[in-house]
Amino acid sequence: MKSELKPEALVEFVRETYQTNKFIPLHAPTFAGNEKAYVLETIESTFVSSVGKFVDDFERQIETFTGSRKAVATVNGTAALHAALYMAGVARGDLVITQALTFVATCNALYHMGAEPIFVDVSPVSLGLCPKAVDSFLNEYAERTDIGCIHKSTGKKIKAVVPMHTFGHPVELDELVAICLKWNLALVEDAAESLGSFYKGKHTGTIGDFGAVSFNGNKIITTGGGGMVLCKTQQQGARTKHVTTTAKVPHPYEFFHDEPGFNYRMPNLNAALGCAQMEVLEPYLKQKRLLAESYKDFFNGTDFQFVTEPDYAQSNYWLNVVICSEREQRNELLEKTNQAGVMTRPVWQLMHRLPMFEHSICDDLSYSEFIEGHLVNLPSTPLSYQQGKQ
């Protein structure tokens, strides 16, 4: 027998957890370490922009933490995803399989390459792209040819699969890797939300051909704005660096650029913030696990289902998630908590409902639609790192 839980009880629980009567945000950045010192160092040295040691340091720290062979810092996560898709060979007119349950940045990156999304359902195991759904979509609507995987009814090339690790929970990667091998598709992981999340011991974003991370202000750690492309080889890393920094051929004074490049380089000022944030990532992750544990205990036995990490994964619990049993219950929860100054949010509207993607190819999206109507994100700032509580 499940007990009925009132929104007021959740408000009380969250207030008790954070020990405050003030407004409680969904996820606030916290600067409790060397952030000020490192940022000040860039200002005093005048190296705030495209030259300076923090960008290299930050990239090396991300490589060490994730196990990526080569990490390339960018201005934001969308730019990292754009560059990753470009490196994976996605081109104008191509089709790319992704999920409709994602933040719009995933699809914007595709759109600006001239590529088009195919929306496939998400899995109840991960809330991310469902391998079974991708497999059956390809079996029904695609064929393997000498020039690659072709979408039968439009004759367009399907070039890549882009799963997104929703709210930090890793997707079923072994299955997706096998599908991509079988169909000759690139696998680009949108790991924007999953820094600190591991799939069978490997960091998300390092298993596919390329991965993209975000350091936007609402992510687990922030550089103000920023992103990172995770590459599998030194060679791909070097080329990613080259194309994201105007494709300039090194020379003491001549300007020669050997291909159309992007100006996606992360400024040294932002990287300084990133280096300081990397020093607190491990304690943040521990704090977030404790917070998730306490939400899990709180919702246990109620008519709400708190989402925990899949068996095969260790999640960063970037944003905590609860699934309501009824849509009305979700609406009431959102209304009452926000009214009481405890910030909660529904999930993004599905991508195929947005005007620019409403004519995209869609597979069955029943589970995505269920999640869209029942999911609520809960306050998730790491506990003892709240502003002013250090």
Ligand X SMILES: *Cc1c(COP(=O)(O)O)cnc(C)c1O
Q: Is 76 in the site for ligand X (CB under 6 A)?
A: yes
Q: Is 94 in the site for ligand X (CB under 6 A)?
A: no
**The binder of ligand X chosen from 116, 172, 193, 209 (CB under 6 A):** 193
Cα–Cα separations (whole angstroms), residue 51 to 83, 98, 244: 20, 36, 14
Q: Is 105 in the site for ligand X (CB under 6 A)?
A: yes
**The binder of ligand X chosen from 42, 99, 102, 240 (CB under 6 A):** 102
CA-CA distance, 169 to 199, in Å (whole number)?
A: 9
CA-CA distance, 74 to 267, in Å (whole number)?
A: 8
**The binder of ligand X chosen from 172, 189, 190, 309 (CB under 6 A):** 190
For the bound state, the minimum distance from the C-beta of residue 148 to ligand X, rounded and expressed in Å, comes to: 26
CA-CA distance, 390 to 388, in Å (whole number)?
A: 6
Q: Is 211 in the site for ligand X (CB under 6 A)?
A: no
Q: Is 78 in the site for ligand X (CB under 6 A)?
A: yes
What DSSP designation does 144 have?
Answer: E
Name which of 121 and 190 has its Cβ closer to ligand X. 190
Is residue 122 within 8 Å of 165, Cβ to Cβ? no
For the bound state, the minimum distance from the C-beta of residue 226 to ligand X, rounded and expressed in Å, comes to: 7
For the bound state, the minimum distance from the C-beta of residue 258 to ligand X, rounded and expressed in Å, comes to: 27
For the bound state, the minimum distance from the C-beta of residue 108 to ligand X, rounded and expressed in Å, comes to: 8
CA-CA distance, 175 to 134, in Å (whole number)?
A: 10
Only one of the segments 39-47, 71-79, 82-90, 240-248 lies at the binding site for ligand X (rule: CB under 6 A); that segment is 71-79
Q: Rounded to a whole number, what is the distance in angstroms from the first to the last CA of the chain?
A: 41
Name which of 105 and 187 has its Cβ closer to ligand X. 105
Q: Is 375 in the site for ligand X (CB under 6 A)?
A: no
For the bound state, the minimum distance from the C-beta of residue 346 to ligand X, rounded and expressed in Å, comes to: 15
**Amino acid found at 369:** E
For the bound state, the minimum distance from the C-beta of residue 215 to ligand X, rounded and expressed in Å, comes to: 7
Q: Is 188 in the site for ligand X (CB under 6 A)?
A: no
CA-CA distance, 379 to 17, in Å (whole number)?
A: 10
Q: Is 16 helix (H, G, I), strand (E, B) or coil?
A: helix
Residue 299, exposed/middle/buried by CB under 10 A (0-12, 13-18, 19+)?
A: buried
**The binder of ligand X chosen from 32, 188, 192, 276 (CB under 6 A):** 192
Residues 10-69 close enough to bind ligand X by CB under 6 A: none
Name which of 164 and 323 has its Cβ closer to ligand X. 164
Site string for ligand X, 293-312 (x = CB under 6 A): --------------------
Q: Is 138 helix (H, G, I), strand (E, B) or coil?
A: helix
Which among 219, 232, 296, 336 is annotated as catalytic? 219
Q: Is 77 in the site for ligand X (CB under 6 A)?
A: yes
Q: In degrees rounded to 5, what are phi and psi of residue 297?
A: -60, -40
Name which of 192 and 243 has its Cβ closer to ligand X. 192
CA-CA distance, 208 to 188, in Å (whole number)?
A: 6
CA-CA distance, 315 to 327, in Å (whole number)?
A: 26
Contacts of 82 (CB under 8 A, 6+ apart): 109, 112, 113, 262, 264
Q: Is 25 helix (H, G, I), strand (E, B) or coil?
A: coil
Residues 223-242 close enough to bind ligand X by CB under 6 A: 227
For the bound state, the minimum distance from the C-beta of residue 171 to ligand X, rounded and expressed in Å, comes to: 12
Closest of 366, 362, 374 to residue 98, by C-alpha: 362
Name which of 24 and 127 has its Cβ closer to ligand X. 127
Q: Is 103 in the site for ligand X (CB under 6 A)?
A: yes
Whether 286 sits among the annotated catalytic residues: the reply is no
Q: Is 15 helix (H, G, I), strand (E, B) or coil?
A: helix
Is residue 84 within 8 Å of 188, Cβ to Cβ? yes
Name which of 73 and 342 has its Cβ closer to ligand X. 73
Name which of 52 and 227 has its Cβ closer to ligand X. 227
Q: Which residues bind ligand X (CB under 6 A)?
A: 76-78, 81, 102-103, 105-106, 164, 190, 192-193, 214, 216, 227
The catalytic residues are 219
